[in-house]
Amino acid sequence: MFSDNFDASAGGLNVVPTGWTVIDGTVDVVSGGFCVAGLCVDLDGSTGDAGILSRSFALLGGVDYLLSFDLSGSRRGRTDDVLITFGTSTRFFDDLAGSSPYTGYSLSFTPGSDGVYSISFANAGGDNVGAVLDNVVITSLDGPPTEVPEPHSAALAALGLAALSFTRRNKI
């Protein structure tokens, strides 16, 4: 339902990637060997105050969502603490080594109700050298019903009704 490889953002120091919000501090949009491909984000900008990269989404209650992303160490020797959040789910990288290669990580979240929820990537500290982020993707594990091809809809609906009546029978 969402993906951004940052390649459409403008590169530069202390810039905000297109469509994102940077709270309290700055990030850099960098390129070349820092990235999986194209452009990516150094989570600690160039103002001595690491940013929190954030973005909000309207999500449906009860649906399982998966946030996945590629995260690398700073590639400049320093270690970094990085906190990732997705709704109420969190994932913390404690002393992520500068040499830690790009790795795909994920974080799942199931909203309790329909609403607007955020993802955020926060690098601790502010030495202008941060962990590097590329390829942020959110998928809905349940899949929207609109993706079901038409001819199968009726059959699935019938199956759903059968399951419902089965459930009801079992409750008695």
User: Would you tell me which residues interact with Ca ion (CB under 5 A)?
Assistant: 5-7, 28, 35, 38, 40, 42, 44, 46, 78, 80, 125, 127-129, 134
Name the DSSP class of 100: P
Cα–Cα distance, 170 to 33 (Å, whole number): 59
Would you say 85 or 135 has its CB closer to Ca ion? 135
Q: What is the CA radius of gyration of the chain?
A: 20
Shortest distance (Å) from residue 141 CB to Ca ion: 24
Shortest distance (Å) from residue 73 CB to Ca ion: 10
Shortest distance (Å) from residue 48 CB to Ca ion: 10
Would you say 38 or 108 has its CB closer to Ca ion? 38
* Coil vs helix vs strand at 145: helix
Cα–Cα distance, 25 to 75 (Å, whole number): 21
Would you say 102 or 109 has its CB closer to Ca ion? 102
Shortest distance (Å) from residue 13 CB to Ca ion: 7
Would you say 6 or 102 has its CB closer to Ca ion? 6
Identify each DSSP E strand in 27-152 by its residue range.
28-31, 39-42, 52-59, 65-72, 80-86, 89-96, 103-109, 115-123, 132-140
Would you say 52 or 129 has its CB closer to Ca ion? 129
Shortest distance (Å) from residue 130 CB to Ca ion: 5
CA triple 112-18-75, angle to 5 deg = 90
